[in-house]
Amino acid sequence: MALRTRFRTRPGQVDNFDFLTPDSIRAFIDQVLGLIKVVVVPVTMISLVVGGIVIMNIMLVSVTERTREIGVRKSLGARKSDILMQFLIESLMMSMIGGAIGLGLAYVLTEGLSIVFNAPLEITGAYVFLAIFVSSAVGVISGWYPASKAASLDPVEALRAD
């Protein structure tokens, strides 16, 4: 009644004021975080797919450029699994370096935001592990086709290639 008198709200009129309670602040924060989840997850998934396509294309170019090397290695006794492992490890290293760069940028961004907003933001070990695991999985998955293509090359045809 005191607020209705203070804001000169007549009987039967809708309140022209609002309460700001901890519960309403929490509901607002939950709403904002929900919106962020709805936007961030699809953007992240698209980024992972694009990154995987880029790694696959780089590895396919690498296989094409190194066809003669693959032929020499196979003619000297390299097994199919040796060639497969070589290209998978290259793809894995490429994706892990990309993941490490992403983690470095996330760390810098987190530190900057914690200074700007004066809030204790941190990247936990579980998120670091998850980031490295996901980037490694993307590297192995996207490098599998180029690696198997390289491993299945015929040594004679590979040595003949220019």
Residues 55/58/62/64 CA torsion (nearest 10 deg): 120
In a domain, 29, yes or no: no
Task: Read off the pLDDT band of 59 (50, 70, 90).
Answer: very high
Within a domain: residue 130?
A: yes
Q: Are 68 and 154 in contact (CB under 8 A)?
A: no
| Domain of 117, in residue numbers | 46-160
Answer yes or no: is 16 within a domain. Answer: no
**7 against 145, higher pLDDT:** 145
Q: Measured between alpha carbons, how far is 121 from 13 in angstroms, rounded to an integer?
A: 44
For residue 113, count other CB atoms closer than 10 A to its CB: 12
Its pTM stands at 0.75
Q: In the predicted model, what is the mean pLDDT of residues 33-53?
A: 90
Look at the block and give the residue holding tokens 């045809």: 157
Q: What is the pLDDT of residue 104?
A: 95
